[in-house]
């Protein structure tokens, strides 16, 4: 199985001509019945060896975590040496399996392990510097958020170094998450909101704004590769995957859905309207992450509605039937529906959206 990146590498090395590569792309697209851009391809597994290496790497990282934790048995907080060993091992393994062998799934796992290990190390050393993790409690939450913010900032810097070395597409999303967490915790500490009685009233608006910012950042990567032929498209995919739940969860929480019980008809209508709006945005930007991230809330809402109207025994089945049918229909006709929606947009906006079918030929 060869990826788009492999195909571009073959053209760059002269193994095949650019015309042959274009002909191959056209042949694959015609066989699938949809343009390659609408397939939203990203590489996860090249072969079973990816799974084999990932399992071995996870076992090694778990061993490093256990060894590191045993070095600080009495520490009341994150074990810093555990994070140090995890991050160091993940970097060394990435030199082989990411930089040299370009294995997709192990690269993703090793990147996440590196980022998590760095954050655990920094947070653990912060606790050790204070001398007693018990001092970071309800009586001194501002200090706790300040330390978390500093750890998040340094983790974002380490993530940037990892990106410069290995160029794993998910790295940018991990860095964006670290930056978002840093900004939110810094604001909470700076504004003295750490001891709030209702943290959801503070965190959810921040998460929503951060989600919108990451979505806009993802669109910058998408705009730079409208044909989705480079690594930039993969970077945008992971950014969209990060932004989607950060946008969806606050919206549906404010609509009163997250409780899962006694959802009113008005709230249910609002959920469906929001989901339709998300579907339109997903079609415009040619990304399905928004639809997937909001799916659980829609399922809960429709199940509650069917139950309210008396279909108690079949509420789950009817919900699955309605949502499953709708999503399958959308998937089958994704390209023509998208062309119809994008075709109604101003030409300047169309020129910034990913290419698709008739839009690509324009």
Question: pLDDT tens string for the chain (362 positions)?
Answer: 555 666 666 676 677 777 776 676 666 655 555 555 666 766 778 788 999 999 999 999 999 999 988 877 666 667 889 999 999 999 999 999 999 998 999 999 999 999 999 999 998 887 776 655 445 454 456 777 788 888 999 999 999 999 999 999 999 999 999 999 999 988 887 777 666 667 677 889 999 999 999 999 999 999 998 888 788 989 999 999 999 999 999 998 888 887 655 677 778 888 889 999 999 999 999 999 888 888 888 888 887 777 766 655 666 787 888 888 989 999 889 989 999 999 898 988 888 888 765 444 44
The DSSP output letter for 238 is H
Cα 136 from chain centre: 30
First to last CA, the chain: 31
The DSSP output letter for 96 is I
Phi, psi at residue 84, to the nearest 5°?
-65, -45
The burial of 298, by beta-carbon neighbours within 10 Å (0-12 exposed, 13-18 middle, 19 or more buried), is given as buried
Q: Which two tokens stand for residue 286?
A: 């040619």
Burial letters for 75-86: b for 16+ Cβ neighbours within 10 Å, e otherwise? bebbbbbbbbbb
Place of tokens 């160091």: 88
Stated pTM of the model? 0.84
Nearest residue to 339 (alpha-carbon basis) of 359, 362, 313: 359
The DSSP output letter for 131 is S
Nearest residue to 323 (alpha-carbon basis) of 341, 340, 305, 342: 305
């Amino acid at each position: 199985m060869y990826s788009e990146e492999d195909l571009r590498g073959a053209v760059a090395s002269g193994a095949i001509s650019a015309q042959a590569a274009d002909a191959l792309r056209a042949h694959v697209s015609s066989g699938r019945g949809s343009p390659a851009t609408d397939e939203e391809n990203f590489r996860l597994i090249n072969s079973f060896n990816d799974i084999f290496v990932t399992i071995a790497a996870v076992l090694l990282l778990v061993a490093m975590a256990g060894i590191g934790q045993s070095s600080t048995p009495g520490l009341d907080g994150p074990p810093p040496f555990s994070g140090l060993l995890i991050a160091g091992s993940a970097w060394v393994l990435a030199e082989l399996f990411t930089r040299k062998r370009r294995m997709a799934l192990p690269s993703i796992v090793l990147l996440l392990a590196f980022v998590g290990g760095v954050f655990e190390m920094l947070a653990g050393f912060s606790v050790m510097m204070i001398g007693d993790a018990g001092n970071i409690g309800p009586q001194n939450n501002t200090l706790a958020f300040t330390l978390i913010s500093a750890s998040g900032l340094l983790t974002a810097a380490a993530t940037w170094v990892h990106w410069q070395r290995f160029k794993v597409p998910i790295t940018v999303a991990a860095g964006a998450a670290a930056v978002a967490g840093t900004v939110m915790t810094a604001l909470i500490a700076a504004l003295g909101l750490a001891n709030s009685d209702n943290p959801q009233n503070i965190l959810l608006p921040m998460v929503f704004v951060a989600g919108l910012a990451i979505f806009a950042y993802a669109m910058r990567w998408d705009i730079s590769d409208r044909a989705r032929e480079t690594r930039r498209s993969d970077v945008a995919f992971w950014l969209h995957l990060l932004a989607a739940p950060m946008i969806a969860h606050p919206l549906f929480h404010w609509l009163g859905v997250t409780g899962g019980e006694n959802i009113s008809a008005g709230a249910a209508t609002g959920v469906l309207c929001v989901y339709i709006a998300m579907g339109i945005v997903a079609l415009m930007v040619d990304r399905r992450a928004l639809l997937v991230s909001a799916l659980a809330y829609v399922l809960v809402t429709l199940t509650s509605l069917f139950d309210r109207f008396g279909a108690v025994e079949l509420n789950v089945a009817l919900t699955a039937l309605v949502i499953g049918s709708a999503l399958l229909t959308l998937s089958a006709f994704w390209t023509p529906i998208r062309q119809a929606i994008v075709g109604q947009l101003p030409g300047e906006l169309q020129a910034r959206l990913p290419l698709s079918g008739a839009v690509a030929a324009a």
